[in-house]
Amino acid sequence: MKVTILDYGAGNLPSVERAFERLGVATERATTPESISRASAIVLPGVGHVAALIRALDTLGLRAPLCEAVRRGVPFLGICLGLQVLFASSEEAPELSGLNLFDGSVRALPSTVKLPHMGWNQLRRARESRLLRGLTDDAWFYFAHSYAALEPGPGAAATCTYGAEFSAVIEWDNLFAVQFHPEKSGSSGASVFANFVEMAI
Amino acid sequence: MTLARRIIPCLDTDGARVVKGINFAGLRDAGDPVELAARYDAEGADELVVLDIAASRDRRPTFLETIRRVAAELAIPLTAGGGIRTLEDARAVVRAGADKVTVNTAAVERAELIAELAGEFGSQAVVLAIDAKRAGESWDVRVRGGRESAQRDAIYWAREGVALGAGEILITSVDRDGTQCGFDIDLTSAIARSVTVPVIASGGAKTPAHFVEVFTAGGADAALAASIFHERIQPIGALKEFLAREGIAVRLTR
């Protein structure tokens, strides 16, 4: 199998590629609707401003094929902004629409804590998680974000709390997303990728 | 569930090799950046910083190659800096594999650079590095590797940098750097109290107690050091175990 990584210029794309390489999994970069339509597993990396991601998806014409692939049951993994863009909207770019695969909006973390939420944090499992299989509750993950899916919904398999509780791992059928950066989370991040690959095969 | 305090080894390079000086002078060779990066990743470093302290134009391709080779070794965040004067310089460093960039002298000379970088990469990727030297009751910002005064108050500059979009402050005490007599706790806590973003303390670390102090009294979110890690004076694994025993939240990897 091959993992298709959406390439819209995200800074963390090479690290994500390397993470799959280390697992012996081939990847390809996708910039066209056709490459999304024939993908057997899709990863949407993301770092920075959500507006850049949403605009890139629309400019490249990837919005519809991406939603279509998810509906078809193609395993999908969103990372950081790749999680946030699944919601209807984000406070970071209120004028733009997200992919609207989940209800609700992404909001700013409260200003009672230092922002960005930057560094290693742990998770609380809300239910059994397929992405976190084999990982213990004290596993650490690297976060770098100021916006989050607050008030975790039924899709949240694990949450993290920093100023407020937010969705850290989302799992809904073939739709997976993590707010942290597995490609920067050492061996625990590698396990998340390995679990995704196992489900995608 | 707590955000862990971070331990960050710093590789000061001449582009290709890791070097170390005392009080920003008297450089000597301290090893291969890729070998050191791999060692620190294995020892449990939370992040890695690679700086080009020579930052000369003709050595730039060498430094970018160093970033590429280091990034290929790592599954932890990588910050790179030294000589980043323009958005294009920062793009080259990010394309080579850095997750964050640090800016220092160029931002002092042209503060809009911070806003440009934050606009392109997001605040989480922009680290404002400030070299500060005590001047009476306050701290003076130093530039050009600590040699010159910028005639600017360090606290004011940290706040200004955050307002422009810096997502972290890396504060180095020029007085303490290379002395191994402990972080400048007054400076660190003054900065940490003044900004709303995470603060990385640097300069003067030697003993585990120094790290405890900078995380408690200093209020630092992360602590950076170089030679004590390079020369194995302070192994990172043992340091983090000590911090954990002292009740400080750290990421233990074993």
CATH at residue B197: 3.20.20.70
B81 within some domain? yes
The Cα–Cα gap between A178 and A191 comes to 13
Burial class (CB in 10 A: 0-12, 13-18, 19+), A180: buried
Give the CATH number, domain containing residue A156: 3.40.50.880
Q: Do B197 and A146 touch (CB under 8 A)?
A: no
Q: Exactly one of A17, A145, A160, A181 is catalytic; name it.
A: A181
Domain that holds residue A139: 2-200
User: What value does the mean pLDDT take over residues B1-16?
Assistant: 93
Q: Do B71 and A120 touch (CB under 8 A)?
A: no
Chain B residues whose CB is inside 8 A of the A12 CB are 99
Neighbouring C-alpha atoms within 13 Å toward the C-beta of B203: 24
Domain that holds residue B87: 6-245
Q: Do A116 and B251 touch (CB under 8 A)?
A: no
Task: Report yes or no: A121 at the B interface, CB cutoff 8 Å.
Answer: yes
Distance in Å, alpha carbon of A190 to nearest chain B alpha carbon = 9
Paired sense of beta strands A147-148 and A102-108, if any:
antiparallel
User: What value does the mean pLDDT take over residues B147-164?
Assistant: 97
Instruction: Indicate which residues of B carry an active-site annotation.
Output: 12, 131
- For residue A201, what pLDDT is reported? 84
Q: Do B97 and A122 touch (CB under 8 A)?
A: no
**Catalytic-residue membership of A117:** no
Distance in Å, alpha carbon of A158 to nearest chain B alpha carbon = 12
Q: How many folded domains does chain B comprise? A: 1
Secondary-structure percent of chain A, ordered helix, strand, coil, rounded to 5 = 30, 30, 40
A&B contacts, CB < 8 Å: 99
User: What value does the mean pLDDT take over residues A81-95?
Assistant: 96
In 3D, which of B122, B119, B124, B90 has the Cα closest to residue B104? B90
Distance in Å, alpha carbon of B121 to nearest chain A alpha carbon = 5
ω before B235 within 30° of 0 (cis)?
Answer: no
By C-alpha distance, the chain A residue nearest B94 is A11
| pLDDT tens-digit series, residues B89-102 | 999 999 899 999 99
B226 within some domain? yes
Q: How many folded domains does chain A comprise? A: 1
- For residue B26, what pLDDT is reported? 62
Asked if pLDDT for residue B1 goes beyond 80, the answer is: no
B1 within some domain? no
Paired sense of beta strands A164-172 and A156-162, if any:
antiparallel
B169 within some domain? yes
- For residue B21, what pLDDT is reported? 61
Asked if pLDDT for residue B22 goes beyond 70, the answer is: no
B254 within some domain? no
- For residue B30, what pLDDT is reported? 77
For residue A41, which amino acid is it?
Answer: A
B195 within some domain? yes
By C-alpha distance, the chain A residue nearest B40 is A186
Looking at the partner chain, which of A48, A49, A160 has a beta carbon nearest the beta carbon of B1? A160
In which band, very low, low, confident or very high, does the pLDDT at A8 lie, cut at 50, 70 and 90?
confident
B253 within some domain? no
Chain A residues whose CB is inside 8 A of the B99 CB are 11-12, 15, 47, 144, 184
Asked if pLDDT for residue B165 goes beyond 90, the answer is: yes
Q: Which residue has the tokens 């081939």?
A: A26
- For residue B25, what pLDDT is reported? 57
ipTM above 0.90, yes or no: yes
User: What value does the mean pLDDT take over residues A65-87?
Assistant: 97
Looking at the partner chain, which of B46, B71, B196 has a beta carbon nearest the beta carbon of A119? B46
| Mutate: best of A120, A123, A162, A180, partner B, most B CBs <10 A | A120
Looking at the partner chain, which of B1, B124, B221 has a beta carbon nearest the beta carbon of A145? B124
The Cα–Cα gap between A166 and A159 comes to 5
Asked if pLDDT for residue A166 goes beyond 70, the answer is: yes
Q: Do A120 and B6 touch (CB under 8 A)?
A: yes
